[in-house]
Amino acid sequence: MVQFNVNGKIALVTGGTRGIGYDIAEYFVLNGIDTIIITSRKPDACKDAKASLEACAASHGKSVKVISEPCDMANDDDLRRFHAIISSQITKLDILIANAGASYGTPFDKHPVAQVRKILDINITGVFHSVQLFASLLENAGSAQDPSRVIIVSSIVAFASDFKDAYGYVASKAGVAHLGRNLALTLAPRNINVNSIAPGFFPTKMTKYLYANKRQETNYGNPRKRWGQKEDIQNAVLWLCSRESNYVNGINLNIDGGLHLVGTSKL
């Protein structure tokens, strides 16, 4: 019987204190991870998420080391500082989940160019820089039989052009998905697989307005007629990070109920 797991591995989840990032970190805790590292900009969020993951581990009889350190992924110096702190505590890194990101929405004529630039810095430059910095630790962990993994969190909006008003966000998520394919070519010889996931609509802080006000409209166009549940993301990412997917490299996995086939409906 096949059992997907991350037994004994070390994983870093950026943006890991809430939403999709936290859900992934939580599932790693429940499925054999040895050490989970989480980060986000806010120290209090890091502290609270660390306590929550430790409580989750304890309540399920898991022995997991949780490392939590704040970092602004768009700030080059802060990211280097974060890398130095984490590198002093680990000698390898099996999994990097590049999840940290931001969005901003305003109609076209009033949309500040500065906000587009800010989103691109976080959602693309921050992803590239984090992979670049941690590549040597990822290489230390990877083997031909079980490469280390980079999972980039893109979005359905990278493939659905009717998502309004979030110009930096849609551009960044399309760009980072293509960046993932390029990195897959670059890093495969170093036993590092790079794949992207493109979630559809999931209940998170970023989507709370849509969930509260436009859930029916988003469901209308979705072939599955529902929003995603955290288990949908968790199971997909666990498979991509498990030994059983060692030959999967350079893909973008849509986790959206088929929404990419029809667009984002009436938004």
The answer to whether residue 27 is catalytic is no
Kindly state the tokens that stand for 251.
């893909």
Taking alpha carbons only, the member of 22, 17, 9 closest to residue 39 is 17
104, 167, 169, 247: the catalytic one is 169
State pLDDT tens for residues 114-172. Answer: 999 999 999 999 999 999 999 999 999 999 999 999 999 999 888 876 778 889 999 99
Report in angstroms the alpha-carbon separations of 175 from 5, 24, 110, 250: 30, 23, 23, 14
Is 194 within 8 Å of 187 (Cβ atoms)?
yes
Q: What pTM was computed for the model?
A: 0.93
* 173-188 core/surface letters (b: 16 or more CB in 10 A; e: else): bbbbbebbbebbeebe
Torsion angle defined by CA atoms of residues 83, 87, 89 and 90, in that order, rounded to the nearest 10 degrees = 120
Is 30 within 8 Å of 163 (Cβ atoms)?
no
pLDDT at 76 over 80: yes
Q: How far apart are CA 203 and CA 210, in angstroms?
A: 9
Beta strands in 183-259 (DSSP E): 192-199, 252-255
Q: What is the pLDDT of residue 206?
A: 63
State pLDDT tens for residues 13-53. Answer: 999 999 999 999 999 999 999 999 999 999 999 999 999 99
pLDDT at 266 over 60: no
Tell which wins on pLDDT, 164 or 206: 164
The pLDDT-based confidence of 70 (bands split at 50, 70, 90) is very high
Task: Please give the domain boundaries of the chain with CATH numbers for all domains.
Answer: 10-202+229-255 (3.40.50.720)
